[in-house]
Amino acid sequence: MRRALVRALSRPLILAAAAVAIPLGSAAPAASDGVVVGGFPVDVSESPWTVALSSRDRFGGMRSGQFCGGVAVGPSTVLTAAHCMSEDVLGAPPGQLADLKVVAGRTDLYRDTGQEVSVRSVWVNPGYDSVGNAGDFAVLTLAQPLPAGTVIGMAAEGDPAYEAGTDAVVYGWGDSTGFGAYSHSLRAARVHVLSDASCERAYPGTSGGTYDARSMVCAGEVRGGRDACQGDSGGPLVAQGRVIGLVSWGSGCGRPGSPGVYTRVSDAVKTLGWTRALRDPTRPPEGV
């Protein structure tokens, strides 16, 4: 969750794979016990809605071609970060990437468990601001539905899950140290939702980025040490059983005073017109 390309400043948290020249700058030290950053290993059965985005043609096959994360919010619908779908990352418009897939039900990316589902279409939020990072979300529509039980609900505007101090968990296969040590097994980190005021102080619009409470939510620890990192972009931030955020941007990984910034899912719900789907569980959101 950071800005677009440089983690040591503030940039989106995509995977800096050898196949793509994504400059990382000099990474800052980050507290870690060998997982997400300051996190722990988790089996995907505990969070079946957490999926990996994959392109072996672009990122190689060692880690199933993973480069970003995503979250299943409908049987055939995955939310991810808009910056994951940029040409800077993919090398071409997403519609031209023939092997773009979603990997579901796979804890260890070195294995072939679970399933790989082709992406039928990609919708990137036209209001996404790649400079300020506002509106950082995209919708992937899958060629076939995921198994039952792989979908998580979304938190709408005003949901108490967004309140400062709420316990939350972020999931991903990204950098576990802040120094480019990418995990091949799913990790999670426990964080807390932070107040908008604290995030505005951390990112007031200087070189570290600008926090916008309308489209962003931030989470982490005041002392640092627990955070998402490169490769986790688009993955879910979950609180009270609902997804409240998508890994987007920030400054460094696990730095004190530099919390992670997430796309506010309620803003995506409103933009996409999915409010009715939240009120009626029999009508899950399906594509755009």
Question: What CATH number is given to the structural domain containing 143?
Answer: 2.40.10.10
* Containing structural domain, residue 222: 160-265
- 86 burial type by CB count under 10 A (0-12 exposed, 13-18 middle, 19+ buried): buried
**Residue 190: Cβ within 10 Å count:** 15
Q: Are residues 168 and 118 in the same domain?
A: no
Out of 32, 47, 136, 159, the active site residue is 136
Task: Determine whether 192 is an active site residue.
Answer: no
Out of 47, 55, 76, 83, the active site residue is 83
Task: Determine whether 184 is an active site residue.
Answer: no
Placement of tokens 């995030």 in the chain:
199
Q: Is residue 119 one of the residues assigned to a domain? A: yes
pLDDT at 23: 26
**Residue 143: Cβ within 10 Å count:** 12
Q: Are residues 101 and 168 in the same domain?
A: no
Q: Are residues 164 and 143 in the same domain?
A: no
CA 46 remoteness from chain centre: 17
Give the contacts of 4 (CB within 8 A, at least 6 positions apart).
11, 12, 83, 86, 88, 130, 133, 249
Distance CA 209, CA 89 (A): 20
Strand residues in 213-284 grouped as ranges (E): 216-220, 236-239, 242-249, 260-264
**pLDDT tens string 242-285:** 999 999 998 878 788 889 999 999 999 999 999 876 766 556 67
Tell me which H or E stretch contains 270.
Answer: helix 265-272
Domain count, the chain: 2
Distance CA 160, CA 16 (A): 35
Q: Is residue 3 one of the residues assigned to a domain? A: no
Helix (H, G, I), strand (E, B) or coil at 7: coil
Q: Are residues 169 and 123 in the same domain?
A: no
Distance CA 221, CA 80 (A): 23
Q: Are residues 136 and 166 in the same domain?
A: no
Give the contacts of 221 (CB within 8 A, at least 6 positions apart).
38, 191, 192, 259
Q: Are residues 143 and 184 in the same domain?
A: no
Q: Is residue 259 one of the residues assigned to a domain? A: yes
pLDDT at 31: 30
Tell me which H or E stretch contains 172.
Answer: strand 167-172
Out of 32, 47, 183, 233, the active site residue is 233
Tell me which H or E stretch contains 52.
Answer: strand 50-54
CB 49 within 8 A of CB 43: no
Q: Are residues 145 and 223 in the same domain?
A: no
Tell me how far CA of residue 122 lies from CA of 77, 104, 220, 255, 257, in angstroms: 10, 17, 30, 33, 35
Q: Are residues 178 and 240 in the same domain?
A: yes
Distance CA 174, CA 15 (A): 7
Q: Are residues 69 and 165 in the same domain?
A: no
* Ranges of residues in the chain whose predicted pLDDT is under 70: 1-38, 175-181, 207-208, 277, 279-284, 286-288
Q: Are residues 164 and 260 in the same domain?
A: yes
Task: Determine whether 233 is an active site residue.
Answer: yes
